[in-house]
């Protein structure tokens, strides 16, 4: 590692682990300028056959994990009057696919949370943005668990076969040269970090978009109009402190 990089272990599903890691970084470095929330797991299968516990496991990492880390970092950013939080969501947080139901739910949750938070912390000088990757050949597919409610799968035999074939085809594609490379996501993080304060787009789609770009174009103005209707226009721009 570079002398300028220090690796700290942190479990985003554990309150104490997050607090200890973030407080240790702040005590040593003085402040945190940029937070990238990127931890995630993904289960793909027959949605009805996933148990409540399996749905919770994904929420605990993908959604509650982001809340834990964000709440640990935000006080120091608000005190400094500046900061950038990049939440990694997904195109699956804008459009839903069959077999991704419980995963879709976590990413839709992050989208809603981050959009509201963006408005609330903007007057304090903190920017909240989202990066929405399409499918990439990372270790995410390795986190897939089989459906726990196996008795339900008996009623979905044909659909389960379709799911299996789809995953195989998907995995093969991600290992081809034509598949988008994960470096594109890293580049998006860097580009956002280097942009001038107040100029960053709310959402950045990376890779195969499956309609997410169009979805963002259509909905962001509607979303911002909600604040105008509530006479909360001052939350639309991040104040520079």
- Selecting among 1, 103, 113, 156, the annotated active-site residue is 103
Residue 156 annotated as catalytic: no
Instruction: For Cα atoms 176, 182, 187, give the angle at the middle one, nearest 5 degrees.
Output: 140
Neighbours of 209 (CB within 10 A): 17
Gap between the Cα atoms of 88 and 134, Å rounded: 11
Tokens of 42: 């993904």
The alpha carbon of residue 161 and the mean position of all alpha carbons in its chain are separated, in whole angstroms, by 29
What are the angstrom distances between the C-alpha of 192 and each of 2, 62, 204, 239?
22, 21, 9, 17
The alpha carbon of residue 46 and the mean position of all alpha carbons in its chain are separated, in whole angstroms, by 22
Q: Judging by beta carbons within 10 Å of its beta carbon (0-12, 13-18, 19+), is residue 113 exposed, middle or buried? A: middle
With tokens 């979805």, the residue in question is 215
Give the catalytic positions in this structure.
103
């Amino acid at each position: 590692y570079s002398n300028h990089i220090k690796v700290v272990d942190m479990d985003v599903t554990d309150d104490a682990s997050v607090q200890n890691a973030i407080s240790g970084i702040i005590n040593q470095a003085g402040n945190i300028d940029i937070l990238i929330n990127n931890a995630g797991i993904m289960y793909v299968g027959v949605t009805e056959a996933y148990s409540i516990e399996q749905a919770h496991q994904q929420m605990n990492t993908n959604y509650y994990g982001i809340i834990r880390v964000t709440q640990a970092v935000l006080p120091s950013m608000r005190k400094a009057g500046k900061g950038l939080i990049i939440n990694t969501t997904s195109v699956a947080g804008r459009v839903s696919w069959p077999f991704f139901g419980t995963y879709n739910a976590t990413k839709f949750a992050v989208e809603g949370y981050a959009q509201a938070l963006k408005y609330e912390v903007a007057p304090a000088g903190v920017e909240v943005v989202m990066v929405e990757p399409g499918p990439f050949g990372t270790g995410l597919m390795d986190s897939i668990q089989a459906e726990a409610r196996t008795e339900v799968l008996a009623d979905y035999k044909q659909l389960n076969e379709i799911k299996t074939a789809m995953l195989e085809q998907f995995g093969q594609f991600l290992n081809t040269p034509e598949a988008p490379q994960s470096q594109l996501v890293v580049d998006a993080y860097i580009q956002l970090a280097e942009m001038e304060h107040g100029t960053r787009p709310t959402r950045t789609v990376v890779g195969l978009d499956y309609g997410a770009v169009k979805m963002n174009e259509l909905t962001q103005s509607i979303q911002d109009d909600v604040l105008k209707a509530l006479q909360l226009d001052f939350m639309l721009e991040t104040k520079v402190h």
